[in-house]
Chains A and B, each alone.
Chain A
């Protein structure tokens, strides 16, 4: 038996159809000091075959969003509201046992620090086999399993024989490739890649991103890329969501957002980063740090750091509004933000 690498497990969805809808998701961590509001009213849609990016400084709730989608948030985290609809089915209210059948089979994940995603005492191949044994529709025998893992390894640029090795025998890059192979193993509908290359050196990082992008295109997969590194997001995604302090503050076509960010935070984030595309530009500083989410600022959560803040910003929270071209922004004064990031600094 040969196992098909790409199997349409998406119920006949065509490219561009809605695959995953997140609606008004709220997830908070309960601590002794109170609730940490890590995911506050976040909504977005992921289409079949699309690469979606979530970008924002560290601590803005990107990982929390990702984990909530699999309902794997830490023990003290609780989903307090919203819906996560996968192929129309809401995953929030279902039982833990039912949820387990969706994990990896429908939504798999490449974790932040995927280097340590491997259990040191088992062979890499056996750890992938574990997922196949659990989710693959029919039972694969030993030869079929080896074949399948070998195919996956070929896809990410590893030798088939590498499946017999232990994680510590791999380099960081190889471990990361193998993690990607494992994420692909059960033909998931969605792959979430949380800082998939952050721990690697730049050259390996670049290689792996390119390969991941190619695999995504070849298999027509839907991926959510998460990174604090805007260069990564700019390179591999079709659409981008910018997160700040647990909120989605801007969402739209990646090209639009990177050429003309409308939210002050996105604008400052891009301007303060050395150029990755185009000519040198003047750097505008992004000062301060994201707020403590135990007690976020009232009104717009960005107001203490925002050069455009007005009195309204300090009391009233701006909703995420459509501004045309499938572009959404949560800011009262987005029109004042200079168009284009190469223009001079206002501060």
Chain B
């Protein structure tokens, strides 16, 4: 298993380098260059050349490429043209947690809701309820996403006035804030990560005891304890009001992204459940006298989970693309927005860096799913 992960990591690193090289040449091939975008046209040509030479842009392309790759290997992705003299790495480290936050919550929410609803739909075949929910799912799945996001903003922010219209925080409130928004983001991400690990552990441990009362005790005790620790961490926390401000802003974009992604998950789960329900072991489970809910969750849904996990990898592209649109529409200054702006302004170092980051995240998600598969399906063992 460890060996498998090792091999996989090496493969992924090589793939990443190829990806990066492609990015380098593709973005160079864009029409126009740095000088038309960032330099005052009144600057005389000889000064222009001097500036280009300072950035190494006068060298032949292959030389630029080698220098760039060499620097990348040392963790240096260059400087931003737009935000000169900030480095690409510093720009990305500022943006990444915001996107990670949005992305993780929307994904978790959509997979959880999609899976639960999908399995119930398949279980209760027939009836108008199933019809209308499936229809709603198909609509959400096929809707033109930017338009849908705007409608969501109009309805929840403008019309109902429940949430802020855009931005990821209320600037006025943060004027004298003693810490950066990023440190708050980081606290939120870490604490919720620990929260979910705690919840996961509680659920896992609750399967161990022999009888139902003990199982329930461990389950609810564990969940209660984890939530209590989480609250005890945040209630007296100095960043609490700032954290709630961010959460308030994040509500609508997360919900919107999750809603669209969830529809796909629901439809896949439903299809996969319907296949699973035809299996012989479902009949065995019924013959054993198990309760319908046990058959649905423990036997059918557990197996239906496998294709859904695969769809996660395939769906990554959508979630990332959807994230880009979400960030643009909601003016959420994360990686997606950065990527779009940098491409539009020919800030090539940032554009390559941002795309490389997205690619790296996708590759890492791939590995995580590969490892998860081992736990989900005992038939899969990597040599």
Show the binding face of A for B, using Cβ within 8 Å. 70, 72, 100-105, 108-109, 111, 113-114, 116-121, 130-131, 134-135, 139, 141-142, 166, 168
Check B378 against A103 for contact (C-beta < 8 Å): no
- A-B CB contact pairs (8 Å), 26 listed: A70-B287, A100-B290, A101-B289, A103-B286, A103-B288, A104-B287, A104-B288, A105-B289, A108-B287, A108-B288, A109-B287, A113-B280, A116-B281, A118-B281, A118-B284, A119-B285, A120-B281, A120-B303, A120-B377, A120-B379, A121-B303, A121-B377, A131-B288, A134-B289, A166-B379, A168-B379
Check A119 against B288 for contact (C-beta < 8 Å): no
- List the 3 shortest-distance A-B pairs measured between CB atoms, nearest first: A103-B289, A116-B280, A119-B281
Q: How far is the CA of A101 from the CA of B291 in the complex (A)?
A: 10
Q: Does B299 contact A (CB under 8 A)?
A: yes
Q: How far is the CA of A101 from the CA of B286 in the complex (A)?
A: 11
**Residues of the A chain whose Cβ atoms lie less than 8 Å from the Cβ of B143:** none
Q: How far is the CA of A31 from the CA of B288 in the complex (A)?
A: 27
Mask of B302-322 contacts with A, CB within 8 angstroms, 1/0: 110000000000000000000
Residues of B263-300 whose CB lies within 8 A of A = 279-281, 283-291, 299
A-B contact count (CB 8 A): 67
**Residues of the A chain whose Cβ atoms lie less than 8 Å from the Cβ of B378:** 120-121, 166, 168
**Residues of the A chain whose Cβ atoms lie less than 8 Å from the Cβ of B299:** 119
Which residue of A has the minimal Cβ distance to B289?
A103
Q: Does B15 contact A (CB under 8 A)?
A: no
Given A117-B280, A117-B281, A168-B379, answer yes or no on A142-B210 (Cβ-Cβ < 8 Å): yes
- Residue count of chain B within 8 Å CB distance of chain A: 21
Check B287 against A72 for contact (C-beta < 8 Å): yes
Q: How far is the CA of A117 from the CA of B24 in the complex (A)?
A: 54
**Residues of the B chain whose Cβ atoms lie less than 8 Å from the Cβ of A104:** 287-289
Which residue of A has the minimal Cβ distance to B300?
A119
**Residues of the A chain whose Cβ atoms lie less than 8 Å from the Cβ of B290:** 100, 130, 134
Q: Does B211 contact A (CB under 8 A)?
A: yes
Check A102 against B284 for contact (C-beta < 8 Å): no
**Residues of the A chain whose Cβ atoms lie less than 8 Å from the Cβ of B280:** 111, 113-114, 116-117
Check B210 against A139 for contact (C-beta < 8 Å): yes
Check A72 against B286 for contact (C-beta < 8 Å): yes
Q: State how many angstroms separate the Cβ of A231 from the closest Cβ of chain B.
A: 25
Which residue of B has the minimal Cβ distance to A99?
B289
Check B286 against A102 for contact (C-beta < 8 Å): no
Mask of B206-220 contacts with A, CB within 8 angstroms, 1/0: 000011000000000
Q: Which of B280, B285, B291 has the most CB of A within 10 A?
A: B280
Q: How far is the CA of A70 from the CA of B288 in the complex (A)?
A: 10
Q: Does B229 contact A (CB under 8 A)?
A: no
**Residues of the B chain whose Cβ atoms lie less than 8 Å from the Cβ of A118:** 281, 284
Tell which of A116, A135, A141, A166 touches B289, judged by Cβ atoms closer than 8 Å: A135
Tell which of A103, A113, A121 touches B287, judged by Cβ atoms closer than 8 Å: A103
Tell which of B283, B291, B379 touches A111, judged by Cβ atoms closer than 8 Å: B283
Mask of B97-137 contacts with A, CB within 8 angstroms, 1/0: 00000000000000000000000000000000000000000
**Residues of the A chain whose Cβ atoms lie less than 8 Å from the Cβ of B279:** 116
Known: A100-B290, A168-B378. 8 other contacts (CB 8 A): A100-B291, A103-B286, A117-B281, A117-B283, A119-B303, A121-B303, A130-B288, A131-B288
**Residues of the B chain whose Cβ atoms lie less than 8 Å from the Cβ of A117:** 280-281, 283-284
**Residues of the B chain whose Cβ atoms lie less than 8 Å from the Cβ of A120:** 281, 303, 377-379
**Residues of the B chain whose Cβ atoms lie less than 8 Å from the Cβ of A103:** 286-289
Which residue of A has the minimal Cβ distance to B126?
A75
Q: Which of A70, A103, A108, A119 has the most CB of B within 10 A?
A: A119
Q: How far is the CA of A312 from the CA of B287 in the complex (A)?
A: 42
Q: State how many angstroms separate the Cβ of A53 from the closest Cβ of chain B.
A: 20
**Residues of the A chain whose Cβ atoms lie less than 8 Å from the Cβ of B377:** 120-121
Q: Does B150 contact A (CB under 8 A)?
A: no
Which residue of A has the minimal Cβ distance to B375?
A121
Q: State how many angstroms separate the Cβ of A174 from the closest Cβ of chain B.
A: 16
Q: How far is the CA of A120 from the CA of B306 in the complex (A)?
A: 12
Check A141 against B287 for contact (C-beta < 8 Å): no
Q: How far is the CA of A101 from the CA of B377 in the complex (A)?
A: 31
Q: Which of A70, A130, A139, A166 has the most CB of B within 10 A?
A: A130
Q: How far is the CA of A166 from the CA of B381 in the complex (A)?
A: 12
Tell which of B211, B283, B291 touches A139, judged by Cβ atoms closer than 8 Å: B211
Q: Does B376 contact A (CB under 8 A)?
A: yes
Which residue of B has the minimal Cβ distance to A105?
B289
Q: How far is the CA of A130 from the CA of B295 in the complex (A)?
A: 11
Q: How far is the CA of A62 from the CA of B368 in the complex (A)?
A: 48
Which residue of A has the minimal Cβ distance to B305?
A121
Q: How far is the CA of A216 from the CA of B250 in the complex (A)?
A: 66
Q: How far is the CA of A14 from the CA of B211 in the complex (A)?
A: 36
Tell which of A70, A116, A119, A121 touches B376, judged by Cβ atoms closer than 8 Å: A121
Q: How far is the CA of A121 from the CA of B374 in the complex (A)?
A: 11
Q: How far is the CA of A205 from the CA of B286 in the complex (A)?
A: 26
Q: Which of B281, B287, B376 has the most CB of A within 10 A?
A: B287
Which residue of A has the minimal Cβ distance to B276?
A119
Q: State how many angstroms separate the Cβ of A168 from the closest Cβ of chain B.
A: 5
Which residue of B has the minimal Cβ distance to A135?
B289
